[in-house]
Amino acid sequence: MVQRALSDLAGKTVAVVGGGSGIGEAVAFGAAEQQALVTVLDSNEAAAKAVAARIGGDAASATVDIRDRRAVDDALRAIAATRGSLDVVVCTPSINVRKPILQYTEDEFDRVVGVNLKGSFNVLQAAGSIMTSARRGSIVIFSSIRSQVVEPGQSVYAMTKAGIVQLVRTAAAEFGPFGVRVNAVAPGIVETPLTAPITANTDWQSAYANKSALKRWARAEEMIGPTLFLASDAASYVTGTVLFADGGWTAIDGRFTPPGM
Give per-residue pLDDT as tens, 240-252.
999 999 999 999 8
Residue 253 lies in a domain: no
pLDDT of residue 108: 98
Kindly list the distances between the CA atom of residue 137 and the CA atoms of 141, 178, 198, in Å, as whole numbers in the listed order: 13, 9, 36
Supply the pTM of this predicted model. Answer: 0.94
Residue 109 lies in a domain: yes
Distance CA 192, CA 96 (A): 13
Distance CA 105, CA 87 (A): 39
Residues marked active site are found at: 157
Amino acid residing at 137? G
Distance CA 158, CA 96 (A): 9
* DSSP per-residue letters across 128-150: HHHHHHHT-EEEEEE--GGGT--
Comparing C-alpha atoms, which of 202, 197, 215 is closest to residue 257?
215
Residue 20 lies in a domain: yes
Residue 257 lies in a domain: no
Q: With a cut of 50, which residues of the chain have pLDDT below it?
A: 1-2, 261
Q: How many domains does the chain have?
A: 1
pLDDT of residue 1: 43
pLDDT of residue 67: 98
Print the domain residue range for 8.
Answer: 2-247
* Exposure on the CB side of residue 247, measured as CA atoms within 13 A: 18
The secondary structure of residue 228, as a DSSP letter, is H
pLDDT of residue 8: 83
Residue 16 lies in a domain: yes
Comparing C-alpha atoms, which of 46, 72, 73 is closest to residue 61?
46
Bridge partner residues of 139 (DSSP): 89, 182
Residue 14 lies in a domain: yes
Q: CA quadruple 78, 83, 86, 92: dihedral positive or negative? A: negative
Residue 200 lies in a domain: yes
For the beta carbon of residue 101, count every other beta carbon within 10 angstroms: 11
Residue 261 lies in a domain: no
CATH code for the domain in which residue 182 is found:
3.40.50.720
Distance CA 168, CA 161 (A): 11
